[in-house]
Amino acid sequence: MSVFAPASPFADFIYRHFRAIHALKLGLALLIAVTINAIWSPPHFIWSMVTIVIIMMSLPQVGGAIEKSLQRAVGTCLGSAYGVMLVATIDSYWLIMGLLILAVSLICFISAGRYSYAYLVAGFTIIIVVGDANHDTSEALWRTANILLGCIIAILVSLFIFPIKAKQDWRSQLANAIDSMAKVLTQHLHAPANHDLDFRAELEAAMKAVLTQKKLFFSLEWESQTLKKHKILLAELVNKQVRLITLLELLPLSRWQAADKEAYHQINRVAAELTAHLQRLSEFVAGKTAFLPTLPTALGQELQLRLQLSLAAQTPNSAPLANEVAQGFALTGYGWLIYQLAIAVEALYADIEIIEIAYSGQTVLHKTAKRS
């Protein structure tokens, strides 16, 4: 099923109440840990509860919980293995501490990128295991086992108890960003001449939604093989949204007098079509419509031609005066801005269409046949 397909009532309920559901899931995971402790009472069981809180507290999505659990498990195993090896095979206190410092320093040097959390866990696990360099490794092994148990509990609860999907959050943030951009363009096109409207709130909301999409990339990879194959496209989609926001930030700088109103309105009538396309795209991404709306062929070129005709109609036949030159320059610059917006909208459509095609083999065949 497509990532843009209308969400089921159950999935929609989970997303609308994800904060409360996430809190209940964290409490349930801790209850499971407490129950195991009451039945079995393994040593150092508190590390299971600490692990559950660390993993689940800030990551409600399934993919994020899996990612962080696996990184914590790998880092714990590697750090524990190294620490046990030191205390089990070396008698010299200073040699053990020297090798500990060397390992942690090396981890600090190479710790970067996607797996930085695994490096962090490996570093402090080595310190916890080695401790004061005594040769009792049972404590280290119990701590490792309890951390792994906490990882397992966190993954299972995230996966099977009211799963909160990053895909739902990502598409919602994408729809919010597009909708905010459409609102900015709508307000601008309906504003009076030389308006002083402030679009910062809407544009900041759009940028916040874009940044949230970026934070969800790792979670999306764990939840969807299709999106994992198109992770570069997801990054490009973010960049194209940022380009649209940047272009929209220039709109309040467009100024004209009442005498120029009709000339600008001719261009705005062309720009109004972009607003409609953005609104329909937002509805599709949000799951309100079942099919991706289509853009006119060569939308950017068509709008460019119409903008040129609008500008030509406003150019006087006689030698232009200074104010007419200024007006022509302003109109040309404004027309260029609308044309660039059209190109950006086309690029946004193209990326979303690729993602939609990737989710449906039938759609791929249909699109291929249509283009050929």
Question: Considering the chain, what percentage of its residues have pLDDT values greater than 90?
Answer: 47
pLDDT band, very low/low/confident/very high, at 193 (cuts 50, 70, 90): low
- Rounded (5°) CA angle 261-280-237: 100
pLDDT band, very low/low/confident/very high, at 329 (cuts 50, 70, 90): very low
pLDDT in tens, 210-223: 999 999 998 998 88
Within the chain, strands assigned E span none
What b-and-e string marks burial along 168-184, b requiring 16 or more CB atoms within 10 Å of the CB? bbbbbbbbbbbbbbbbb
Look at residue 204 and tell me whether its pLDDT is greater than 80: yes
Tally Cβ neighbours within 10 Å of residue 262: 11
Tally Cβ neighbours within 10 Å of residue 212: 16
First CA to last CA distance, the chain: 26
278, HSE (Cβ side, Cα atoms, 13 Å): 26
pLDDT in tens, 63-119: 989 999 999 999 999 999 999 899 888 889 999 999 999 999 999 999 888 889 999
pLDDT score, position 53: 94
- Mean pLDDT of the chain, nearest integer: 84
Asked which of 125-134, 276-285, 334-343, 360-369 is least confident by mean pLDDT, the reply is 360-369
Considering the entire predicted model, what is its pTM? 0.80
Question: Considering the chain, what percentage of its residues have pLDDT values greater than 70?
Answer: 84
pLDDT score, position 269: 78
Instruction: Judge whether 48 and 149 are in contact, CB under 8 Å.
Output: yes
pLDDT score, position 324: 47
Using alpha carbons, list the distances in angstroms from residue 304 to 99, 119, 249, 274: 67, 52, 21, 13
Mean pLDDT on 280-296 = 88
pLDDT score, position 260: 62
The length of the chain is 372
Look at residue 183 and tell me whether its pLDDT is greater than 60: yes
What letter represents residue 166's amino acid? A
Q: Which two tokens stand for residue 99?
A: 């090798």
Asked which of 20-24, 116-120, 362-366 is least confident by mean pLDDT, the reply is 362-366
pLDDT band, very low/low/confident/very high, at 239 (cuts 50, 70, 90): very high
pLDDT score, position 322: 43
337, HSE (Cβ side, Cα atoms, 13 Å): 21
pLDDT band, very low/low/confident/very high, at 371 (cuts 50, 70, 90): very low
No. of helices (H) and no. of strands (E), the chain: 16, 0
Residue 258 DSSP class: G
pLDDT score, position 264: 74
pLDDT score, position 313: 58
pLDDT band, very low/low/confident/very high, at 256 (cuts 50, 70, 90): low
